[in-house]
Amino acid sequence: MTTDTIRVDRAALEDFCARVFQAHNLSEADATIAADVLVAADARGIPSHGVARLPRYVLGLATGLMLTDVEPEIVRETPTSLLVNARGAMGAPVSAHTMNSVIDKARQTGAAFGCIRDSNHFGIAGYYAMLALPADMLGIAMTNTAALGVPTFGREPFFGTNPLAFAAPADEEGAFVLDMATTVVTRGKVEVYDRAEKPLPEGWAVDAAGLAATDPTLILQNLTVQAGGGILPLGGLGELFSGHKGYGLAVMVDILCGVLAGSSFGADIADQAGSSARVSHFFGAIRIDTFRDPRAFRRDMDHLLRSLRSSPPAEGEERVYFAGLKEFEYEEACAREGIPLTPKVYAQLKETGAACEVAPPAVL
């Protein structure tokens, strides 16, 4: 953690966010879930999806993009599947409820899957995949997003950052938690660079002509008004570094989240000014004991992850990581020292809280 930060207690930050959400007519239960998901991102070292997004959520609630007076409905259901129409409800609460329903179904059937349509931004995908871990299950979560990603050899965005997450339990090594965008970076990461007034690394994005661009403000402006250009698929520009593979993964997520759910997909999804687009999600849970003893699985996972962690690093590098290790270690540090926020983000929280008479969390 850098010295140029303000640190706050995690529980206090969660309480602040929950009270802000309640002040905008979210129920206490849903506000608690939404706050938990939001702060979990900062606690795991993913500030692009953390409390810096609170003003966008508040604007979504204030403008009616995110609705608080609707009840999500089950459109179709079988013992192994679930399709939910969120009806514009806030993404995090309906996603947590749906993933828990999928896990309950998997307890009975061995594996289950669910889709949500007409939802909103749900935070970090890994949060939902990890809900399966205590039940000795493999967890899957993904979402489509507004069209921000430019296809290989293209110049206009036709798919979202379309993140996917996969979680598998272990014992002493904790868990393997892959949580990744299918683009080089997320829009939130571009926003982080914009807030810091730093140029983007070359290879993250292209301009309206499909050429490499490094100005985060220009990229964000072009995306907002759909002027062309956007974020590159995982792998980067062209086929040399396998950008076409990230492109394929992004479309796969769109198929599972949008096409399968009978919802919007591709270029039909667009962010609103200051807030996010209506999107769709996909969740899965697989019971490990339908294949083998979960205790033996966890032991083998420990062996796999420990082998990766202890493998020799490249010259000049200190360690080899596996997916989720950095986040777990960051979370442990936050528990000891508090969650770090930039002064700019903390000022935004104070402003957001003042507008609804909610005091910000104290600085540690």
pLDDT at 1: 45
In which domain, by residue range, is 120 found? 69-293+324-338
CATH number at residue 236: 3.30.1370.60
Rounded to whole angstroms, what are the CA distances from 111 to 6, 79, 105, 185, 274?
43, 10, 7, 31, 38
Collect all residues with Cβ–Cβ distance below 8 Å to 356 and sequence separation of at least 6: 20, 23, 24
In a domain, 313, yes or no: no
- The pLDDT score that the predictor gives to residue 341 is 96
The secondary structure element, H or E, covering residue 103 is helix 91-109
Query: Residue 352 falls within a domain, yes or no?
Result: no
Say if 36 falls within a structural domain.
Answer: no
pLDDT in the model for residue 3:
54
Residue 171 lies in a domain: yes
Contacts for 82 with CB less than 8 Å, ≥ 6 apart? 74, 76, 98, 101, 102, 105, 112, 113, 114, 115
Predicted local distance difference test score (pLDDT) of residue 358: 97
| 364 residues of the chain, pLDDT tens digit each | 445 889 999 999 999 999 999 999 999 999 999 999 999 999 999 998 999 999 999 999 998 889 999 999 999 999 999 999 999 999 999 999 999 999 999 999 999 999 999 999 999 999 999 999 999 999 999 999 989 999 999 999 999 999 999 999 999 999 999 999 999 998 878 988 998 899 999 889 999 999 999 999 999 998 888 889 999 999 998 899 999 999 999 999 999 999 999 999 999 988 766 556 899 999 999 999 999 999 999 999 999 999 999 999 999 999 999 999 999 999 999 999 999 999 999 999 999 999 999 999 999 9
Residue 202 in any domain: the answer is yes
Q: Has this prediction a pTM greater than 0.85? A: yes
Within-domain flag for 224: yes
Q: What is the pLDDT of residues 121-130, one digit of tens each?
A: 999 999 999 9
> Structurally, how many domains does the chain consist of?
1
Residue at 270 is within a domain: yes
303 domain-assigned = no
User: Residue 45 pairs with which residues in a beta bridge?
Assistant: none
